[in-house]
Amino acid sequence: MDAIQQNLLEQVAGLHEIPAGAYNIRANGQMAARNTTANIDITTKEDCSGIDIRIKPGTRNESVHIPVVLSQSGLKESVYNDFFVGEDADVTIIAGCGIHNSGGGTSEHSGIHRFFVEKNAKVRYVEKHYGSGDGSGERLMNPTTEIHLAEGASLEMDTVQIKGIDSTKRVTMAKVAARASLVIREKIMTHGRQYAETDFSVDMDGDDSSVNLISRSVAKEHSRQLFKSRIVGNSKCQGHSECDAIIMDNASVSAIPELTANNIDANLIHEAAIGKIAGEQLMKLMTLGLTEKEAEEQIVNGFLK
């Protein structure tokens, strides 16, 4: 891989070298490297572009890296990845996509990830998106995540997009069974005329299931953001969604929550807050010697941590 692709890998997956354990690295629409282990198998799909990742029951303390990098201007791809996580497994999956566009063509990656997490299994899923390059072509990224949690299963998802993506639509759908738990933490920053849309939809189908969706975002300059969340409680359950956004300059942010309780014991809550940086926060930091711009950067960085 060249220096540009290596930098993208570092940004989206923290990789300075080939990782230990199972991995599948995709570069410019082709498999660049792959490794499997005794407990984690990765195979290429036969009917479409993508891979199947199968994790054996009881697998513990193992990780899977599946980053994607695009450095060819004008390349557009859709990739379908399915994860089958066996009972009582406990694993970390690190994904992410980086696009470097130094040309005039539009570069686009659409990743469709489906998770089938079996009884009492635990998954931590980390997904970072990053864009770079000084070309006039756009960098588009449209991740779709479909989650099926069996009884007692849990999935924690951390997703970050803080630089370089011109347009993104992030769709997450989930079905949560009895005593299963889903936690999603999202962080987004947009600037220029970028657009970011988040669309969460969760069905809580089992007793004592729980969902916690947390989105934090910063919109600068003329960028636009749209946050939509839909939680349906079909059982005795706990559902919570939260959208906190800082708006700056001439940006625009919309939050559209939807809660539906189809069971008398469904406890559903949504919180949303959109506003500018408080003047007293700026003044406090400026009295310590920071300029207004430096103070804003400190507050934004702290907010997105």
Q: What pLDDT, in 10s, does the model give residues 146-189?
A: 999 999 999 999 999 988 999 999 999 999 999 999 999 999 99
Summarize the confidence of residues 2-21 as an average pLDDT: 82
5, pLDDT greater than 90: no
Summarize the confidence of residues 108-133 as an average pLDDT: 96
- The per-residue pLDDT for 244 is 95
- The per-residue pLDDT for 286 is 87
Give the whole-angstrom CA distance, residue 64 versus residue 49: 19
Partner residues linked to 40 by β-bridges? 55
250, pLDDT greater than 90: yes
For the record, the structure tokens of 181 come out as 């738990």
Task: Give the CA distances from residue 300 to residues 14, 250, 282, in Å, rounded to whole numbers and listed in that order.
Answer: 22, 16, 11
Percent of the chain clearing pLDDT 90 (strictly above): 82
Q: What is the mean pLDDT of the chain?
A: 94
Quick one: which of 20, 32, 16, 19 has its CA closest to 71?
32
- The per-residue pLDDT for 60 is 96
pLDDT band at 64 (very low <50, low <70, confident <90, very high): very high
- The per-residue pLDDT for 282 is 87
- For residue 23, which amino acid is it? Y
138, pLDDT greater than 80: yes
pTM: 0.93
pLDDT band at 305 (very low <50, low <70, confident <90, very high): confident
16, pLDDT greater than 90: no
Domain chopping of the chain, boundaries: 3-277
